Structure 1
């Protein structure tokens, strides 16, 4: 299997980039390119080991946890399973 790697240089302070990536108002703006038919939202308690949800407008998506959080340098998510329209988690 071929491994692809991409890199982009953003001419902005890293805190500003962090804020755009994870701010409730701007998160759905950059993630809309993954699924233009349905807006994405992220709901998190922002705690290592806590719950984070990546959901579409129907409430479906992924349930994850934060493994490591070093704002504004890095966040590592561990995906645990899926969430259905009724909010049931399948881990």
Structure 2
């Protein structure tokens, strides 16, 4: 399958240092309960549907409005890196031709750990008209991930 990236995409990049092992940060990112917690900042009621496996598709959907995106897990190195390629706008009832603003964009999460501190780097391509929204929300998302991961680290 060939993906064509929309012309109006902007790459955004954010990072945060978290005093927790990268395994704890990874779990915070992708375990269902914590994912729903931090993803709610981006789009209310967001959840994942599908397998988090390289080469498989996963859907990110909103339980509030039923919309989301279907993404290919293009590259996966557990506890270190994941790259999603957004392949189709989606509605809870199935893929559909809504706006194609996310089609072809990528989103990656990179974790590196040194001396018990994990740096989380998030790179995402967003439609130009959403740049301001994500520039405001993604730093809040990273702060929430940090809070959840530190709690996860301390509870062990």
TM-score by length of 1: 0.83
**Superposition CA RMSD, Å:** 2.1
Matched positions, count: 88
Aligned to 1:56: 62
Change over 3 Å in CA distance of 1:71–1:3 after alignment to 2: closer
Q: Which residue is 2:152 aligned to?
A: none
Question: What residue ranges of structure 1 are gaps of 5+ in the alignment?
Answer: none
What's 1:75 paired with?
Answer: 82
Q: Which has the higher contact order (CA 8 A, sep 6+)?
A: 2
Which of 42-51 and 75-84 deviates more?
42-51
Residues 53 and 85 of structure 1: CA distance in aligned 2, closer, same or farther (over 3 Å):
closer
Could you tell me the TM-score, scaled by structure 2's length?
A: 0.51
Quick one: distance in 1 between partners of 2:15 and 2:54?
27
**Other-structure match for 2:108:** none
In structure 2, the gaps of 5 or more residues are 1-9, 98-102, 104-156
Cα distance in structure 2, aligned partners of 1:64 and 1:3: 17
C-alpha spacing 1:29/1:46, structure 2 compared with 1 (3 Å): same
| Separation (CA, whole Å) in 2 of partners of 1:47 and 1:55 | 18
CA positional deviation for 1:85: 4.3
Give the Cα separation in 2 of the matches to 1:34 and 1:63.
Answer: 16
Q: Does 1:9 align with 2:13?
A: no
Larger radius of gyration: 2
Contact persistence 1:65–1:78 (CA under 8 A): yes
1:32-52, Cα deviation, whole Å (9 max, x unpaired):
1113xx310012212222110
Tell me if the contact between 1:60 and 1:87 (Cα under 8 Å) persists in the aligned partners: no
Structure holding more strand per residue: 2
